[in-house]
Structure 1
Amino acid sequence: MVLFLLLLLPLPLLLLLLLPPPQWAALRQKSPRDARLPWLAGLQHRAALGLLCWAAAWQRRRLEQSTLQAGLSQRRALRRCLRAQGPGRPRGASADMSAFRNHVPLTKACQTEEKESGEQGLPPTSDQHCGEVSLQATLLGLAALNRAYPEVLAPGGTARVTPASAWPCPLPWPWHTLGQLSPPGAKDSWALLLEALRSPELRALEARTAVELLDVFLGLEAGVELLAEAIAAGNPGAPLPRRAAELREALEQGPRGLALRLWPELQVVVTLDAGGQAEAVAALGALWCQGLAFFSPAYAVSGGVLGLNLWPEQPGGLYLLPPEGPFIELLPVKEGAQKEAAHTVLLAEAQKGKEYELVLTDRASHTRCRLGDVVRVVGAYNQCPVVRFICRLSQALSVRGEDIGEDVFSEALGWAVGRWPGAKLLDHGCVESSILDSSEGSAPHYEVFVSLRGLRNLSEENRDKLDHCLQEASPHYKSLRFRGSVGPARVHLVDQGAFRALREALATCPLAPFPPEMPRVLRYRHLAQFLQKRVVS
């Protein structure tokens, strides 16, 4: 679509717009007397912004049409999905929903992969991740961001500090024109951070996910002297000794509000919501990015983009489930043991206040996969639900059938950390005791690994507070603890680099998902032992 839009432009303007920043720099060197170049750069930016607004408006009209007739749009999406499956599709499968449900049963996304590889299963893959919905999420997200924070897309207004982008479908053009500041060819966070630190006028900071941005700030604190020396020496670029001094002074005042001290005009942090990011967002908002807004353009799993964020001013992340693109169904989540409901419902049938598990039809394996992601419907956009993501069923803890959900455990852990004087939670991971063989004749229990700021040692009194909070959060867990069927949760403090190293290890796995979700419950012994070796208290 982007190429089609470019073809509509006059040739001279097209040449100006397609000219990347390195060529502009070369022209400046060849023609130092040409005073028109700053004006031409401004023209390039205005034209790029105008084209973005036009393309976003066109996508918004398409979204309006599809959401006004959500049932019809989903049937079209299902027909496209079945056509893509070709002659090998399940016998009898058709675009009729009743027949489709009867002939294509629900499966869990991880069933096949776990049997074949012995590793944690992943959601189905889909070519839609770089397709129409991803482009739609990017264009509408950029337009929404521009409305909420108009200066963000000014030239040099945004810096990305991770190699991968937060935008589901980064545009090859006009990315630099619309404010993106990054050194050409940079492939590591260190070089990107160094470039960002040289630019105090930034309005937006971008990272692929919040956990990766957390790693960037922890790395910034650990390597402040090396960064300051590089900036002062002009490696790369011109020497900036004054900026290096500002960096050292900002770090001396501690982590709270650091981002705004380094970049006084900063307004928003852009990251991609991909599951397991809530703790990192909370830690960043309480410390380094205090006073800044957070915006995620989309909610994504390895199966593709599933939700569009049209409301950057709304905290907590609200997402519209679009009817076009991946064929999504909603499986009602029953209270208690979360048993499987009788059948799924379509987007237009979702009820406000209800919780549903997402089901995605995979084009490659001809299956309807339960992703495990649970959403709560909080509103509607025409005939489509607006949802908030609640938890992932795969991240539940259960050693005696108590089924402590990801959201319940995170809330209990938050209560406990709030009772530890001076502590701020950065990261956590859980392991059921059977994985580590740590019961040693005692009752099965949870092994909990936490990374904290402001607390170097955990007293036994503090450790016990988590178990008390879990009992308050879950009556079933409290009953099992009272009977002695489940032992008290054991809490371990790990060093601040432990979870970053864990994420690096997970990224090397050949089945690593994109975008990378952050697992909170580790199911494999080698991963649990990885954290166990980093325990400091």
Structure 2
Amino acid sequence: MLLWPLLLLLLLLLLPLALLWQQRSQHARWAWLASLQHHVAWGALGWAAAWQRRKLEQSTLHVGQSQQQALRWCLQGAQGPRISGVFGATDMSTFRNHFPLTKASQAQEEDSGGQVPPATSPQYPGEASLQATLLGLVALNKAYPEVLAPGSTACVTLTSPWPSPLPWLGHALGRVSPTGAKDPVALLLEALRSPGLRTLEAGTAVELLDVFLALEADGEELAGAIAAGNPGAPLPGRAAELRQALEQGPRGLALRLWPKLQVVVTLDAGGQAEAVAALGALWCQGLAFFSPAYAASGGVVALNLWPEQPGGLYLLPPGAPFTELLPVKEGAQEEATSTLLLAEAEEGKEYELVLTDRVSLSRCRLGDVVRVVGTYNQCPVVRFTCRLGQALSVRGEDIGEDVFSEALGRAVGQWPGAKLLDHSCVESSILDSFEGSAPHYEVFVELRGLRNLSDENRDKLDHCLQEVSACYKSLRFRGSVGPARVHLVGKGAFRALRAALATYPLSPFPPEMPRVLRHRQLAQFLQRRVVS
């Protein structure tokens, strides 16, 4: 509904172009047209964003009423025998009693009728996606003026970080990325040909990490294409700049290629923190990172209205899909069974997100855990901390994703010159790697600055795990759990793994990146690429 008035406004504002077009030289009128088109697009975007902001303000001020409307919308759009007796009713007790909590894997099995579910789509329909795009663009432009000026933005992946990409808007705002490109190399080449970029976009941080790894691996070929004019006019000078920038190594490469670059825009999702850290420490050193939204299970679940805040602050909106909060209790033995509404969230507490959408109509536990750090009107402002499905447990110790990442970060910090690019873990039973020893973790890491791992370095991860987890330390002391085994994989191993994950039917990627592999074939995929 929103696109029609926007398109009408664009058409009305562009009508005078036919008369003025004949009054200018070809070069001047192209530049003038691009500038006018940009201003018209921003006018339309500003109007639409202001309308969405007013809607968001009203919904977050009256969060109880907004959530009732979201639930009613979900119920009215659903079909099937499960909704008999609750259709039209929005009493929370009736709704919760009729629809028990399910986990994401259970919901997939029910929806697929026992068949293998297809790979998830990178599209994110819904009003939350439109809000994230419009409000995110305006907030980004306010925080970093001129980053969205004509010719200042390029997307280097086939997927966009904006949940509702709005192709016509990207063209009007003067992005340098070729329209309708289906080849990631073409996107990268166009970005490399444009030294004046201020904003670099990618679908997710792990995808951008793969872009920079590919740039290093294929830099000479890319420079040759730019020099030969494939595509576009030959740019031998720019090709020489690319070669010189690559010769100086990965640290600060983005700013050497694009001196005016200010911000990197990627879509946040599970498993992206390591890639963001690696990019910030090496290729994108000195640049700000911004994600307009947090995506999970194929949809937008939170909005980012604060580009200037590091670490990702997100607002949980009260609209569809209907969102509940399940308190996360300490210890794996006890689980909460009663959910809360958004207005009932307490600052400082952690909750697992529970979503009900219009299609499946199941109260699905996403596994994504948030910590409430503030409020926006009556809605919680959160940080995403971990995913429950990415925990390690060979003896019931339940090492969470955030706990393991902290331990691994401490260990890598003690490896001289090492920078962590990526990692994945496997419980030893998956690989049948007991070999007469106690069950343990198999950890695969990809590093920069370190070609071999000594036994002393490998042991540091196990020591760090004992420091961050008293339960793990106790199990290690009793011998119930063996020491974690660390393996160094070769360059590009995780890039190849992600390519394999993209075709794997049960994988949530994209956009999520698993840190604990549950399938033997994927674990063996990394095992074959161990170099130390």
TM range (shorter): over 0.9
How far apart are the structure 2 equivalents of 1:352 and 1:422? 39
Give unmatched runs, 5+ long, in structure 1: 19-26
Q: Is the 1:124–1:303 contact (alpha carbons within 8 Å) kept by the matching residues of 2?
A: no
Distance 1:395 1:119 in 2: 23
Please give the residue correspondences for 1:99-498 in structure 2 after superposition, counting only pairs within 5 Å.
Answer: 99-113=94-108, 129-337=124-332, 339-498=334-493
SS in 2 for 1:450: strand
Q: 1:397-425 CA distances to partner (integer Å, 9 max, x unpaired)? A: 00000000000000000000000000000
How much does 1:3 deviate?
Answer: 2.7
Q: 1:129, 1:304 within 8 Å by CA — same for their partners in 2?
A: yes
CA distance change for structure 1 residues 251 and 118 in 2, over 3 Å: closer, same or farther? Answer: farther
1:67 maps to a residue whose letter is T
Does the C-alpha gap of structure 1 residues 206 and 126 become closer, same or farther in structure 2, counting only changes over 3 Å? closer
TM-score, structure 2 as length reference: 0.94
Residue number in structure 2 paired with 1:518: 513
Q: Is the 8 A contact 1:126 1:363 kept in 2?
A: no
Distance 1:86 1:114 in 2: 18
Offset from partner CA, 1:332-353 (integer Å, 9 cap, x none): 0001216321300000110000
Cα separation, 2, equivalents of 1:69 and 1:230: 56
The verdict on how the C-alpha distance between 1:2 and 1:486 changes in structure 2, with shifts beyond 3 A counting, is same
Q: In the alignment, which residue of structure 2 is the partner of 1:78?
A: 71
Distance verdict in 2 for CA 1:447–1:281, change over 3 Å: same
Q: Which moved more, 1:109-118 or 1:209-218?
A: 109-118
Q: Distance in 2 between matches of 1:393 and 1:123?
A: 22
What CA distance in whole angstroms lies between the structure 1 residues aligned with 2:114 and 2:514? Answer: 13
Secondary structure at the residue paired with 1:535?
coil
Query: How far apart are residue 241 of structure 1 and its match?
Result: 0.8
Taking the aligned partners of 2:13 and 2:474, their CA distance within structure 1 comes to 71
CA contact under 8 A between 2:119 and 2:505: conserved in structure 1?
no
SS of aligned partner of 2:404: helix
Give ranges in structure 2 of 5+ residues lacking alignment: none
Q: Matches of 2:374 and 2:12 in 1, distance apart?
A: 46
User: Once the two structures are superposed, what CA deviation does each residue of 1:63-89 show, in whole Å capped at 9, x if it has no partner?
Assistant: 000000001000000000000113533
- Distance in 2 between the 1:400 and 1:269 partners? 41
Residue 340 of structure 1 aligns to a residue whose secondary structure is coil
- In structure 2, C-alpha distance between the alignment counterparts of 1:521 and 1:108, rounded to whole Å: 17
Separation in 1, partners of 2:479, 2:488: 25
* Alpha carbons of structure 1 residues 16 and 361: separation in structure 2 relative to 1, 3 Å: farther
Given that residues 113 and 120 in structure 1 are in contact (C-alpha distance below 8 angstroms), is that contact kept between their aligned partners in structure 2? no
How far apart, in 2, do the equivalents of 1:479 and 1:171 lie?
Answer: 54
Q: Secondary structure of the residue that 2:124 maps to in structure 1?
A: helix
Alpha-carbon distance, 1:4 to partner:
2.4
Question: 1:42 Cα shift?
Answer: 1.2
CA distance in 2: counterparts of 1:409 and 1:10, whole angstroms? 51
Q: 1:191 to 1:35 in 2, by over 3 A?
A: closer
- SS at structure 2 position matched to 1:491: strand
- Give the TM-score taking structure 1 as reference length: 0.94
Q: Secondary structure at the match of 2:278?
A: helix
Partner of 2:4: 4
CA contact (8 A) 1:309 1:319 kept: yes
For the residue of structure 2 that corresponds to 1:130, the secondary structure is: coil
**Deviations along 1:173-195, whole A, 9 cap, x unmatched?**
22122132112332122111111
Query: Is the aligned partner of 1:527 residue 2:526?
Result: no
How far the C-alpha of 1:5 sits from its partner, in A, is 1.9
Say if 1:225 and 1:248, in contact at 8 Å, map to a contact too: yes
Matched, 1:68 2:61: yes
Q: Is the 8 A contact 2:9 2:44 kept in 1?
A: no
Which residue in the other structure is 2:38 paired with? 45
Shift of 1:389: 0.2
Would the aligned equivalents of 1:308 and 1:321 in 2 still touch at CA under 8 Å? Answer: yes
For residues 366 and 116 of structure 1, the distance between their equivalents in structure 2, rounded to whole angstroms, comes to 10
Asked if 1 retains the 8 angstrom alpha-carbon contact of 2:10 and 2:41, the reply is no
Quote the sequence identity (%): 78
| Residues 430 and 521, structure 1, Cα contact 8 Å, conserved in 2 | yes
* Structure 1 range deviating more: 357-366 or 410-419: 357-366
Q: Which amino acid in the other structure matches residue 125 of structure 2?
A: C
Aligned partners of 2:172, 2:235: CA distance in 1, in Å?
A: 25
Partner of 1:22: none
What amino acid is aligned across from residue 58 of structure 1 in structure 2?
W
1:485 counterpart letter in structure 2: S
Task: Give the aligned residue type for 1:147.
Answer: K
Q: How far apart, in 1, do the equivalents of 2:333 and 2:289 lie?
A: 31
The change in CA–CA distance for 1:122 and 1:400 in structure 2 (over 3 A counts) is: farther
Deviation string for 1:406-455 (max 9, x for gaps)?
A: 00000000000000000000000000000000011210000000000000
Q: Number of matched residues?
A: 528
Superposition deviation, residue 16 in structure 1: 8.0
**CA drift at 1:215:** 0.5
1:88 partnered with 2:89: no
- Check conservation: 1:122, 1:302, Cα contact below 8 A: no
Structure 2: how far apart are the matches of 1:34 and 1:159? 23
After superposition, the CA RMSD in angstroms is 2.6
CA distance in 1, matches of 2:27, 2:192: 30
Bigger mean CA deviation after superposition, 116-125 or 176-185: 116-125
Matched-pair contact (CA < 8 Å) for 1:450–1:494: yes
Deviation at 1:274, TM superposition (A): 1.1
Code of the residue aligned with 1:530 in structure 2: it is F
Deviation sequence 1:72-129 (CA, Å, 0-9, x none) = 0000000000001135333433311111111110011112546999999989989993
